[in-house]
Homo-oligomer: A and B are copies of this chain.
Amino acid sequence: MPAIAPDRRELLLDAAQALFAERPFDAVSIADITQRAGVAFGLVAHYFGSKRGIYVASMQAMADQLRAVRDRPPEQDDMAIALQVGIRRHIAYLEEHAVGFRVLMRGGIGADEEVRQIVMKLRWEGAERVMMALNVNHPIGPELYSAMYGWVGFLNESMLAWLEQKAFPREQFATMIIVMLAATLRTVITMNPHTGIDPRLLDRLELGS
């Protein structure tokens, strides 16, 4: 059976991701993208309308891939371990796609409102996945809301700093993120005891890491 050829839309998205990660938005032309993808010039307009259209779509594609990796169901039922597996997968994916991650986070190639929305949605979904696993009460209290945004900010910023140097193992970095999640949630429980989070789950989350 012959390998299935990636479709041309896919080839264009891959080329766009690579180019927008290398150069500012204004320094990438439609011709650059179609040449890299090895397809006809007119196809960017056909599939995406414009250069901005393929830019937004390429950022959306990266966010979708990250979401798919993070949300793949874990193999076991233990919630503490499932959370750890999810966080470690997320971090491994970011390491593999470090350039694209930097572009998404820093918006260095043109602060596009639509891309900003894609990133904000992705952030909050990550926090929501964690809170779902922890069985938090709804509605989410304001302390937990603020703190979970904080933890996602911790993860993203410390990850960018870690990627600069990679001076200690990823396993250890992931452990730091998991321990900081437990610390974040313990702080919230102290501020507001009505979160529904079981502190024993946090002990196991931390220990198992």
Interface of A toward B, CB cutoff 8 Å: 24, 106-111, 113, 116, 142-143, 145-162, 165, 167-168, 172-173, 175-176, 179-180, 183-184, 187-188, 190-191
Q: Which residues of B contact A184 (CB under 8 A)?
A: 154, 180, 183
Kindly state the separation between the CA atoms of A106 and B117 in the bound complex, as whole angstroms: 11
Contact of A152 among B147, B157, B168, B173 (CB under 8 A): B157
The A contact surface, by secondary structure, is helix
Kindly state the separation between the CA atoms of A160 and B116 in the bound complex, as whole angstroms: 14
Q: Which residues of B contact A159 (CB under 8 A)?
A: 146
Beta-carbon contact of B145 and A165 below 8 Å:
yes
Beta-carbon contact of B150 and A158 below 8 Å:
yes
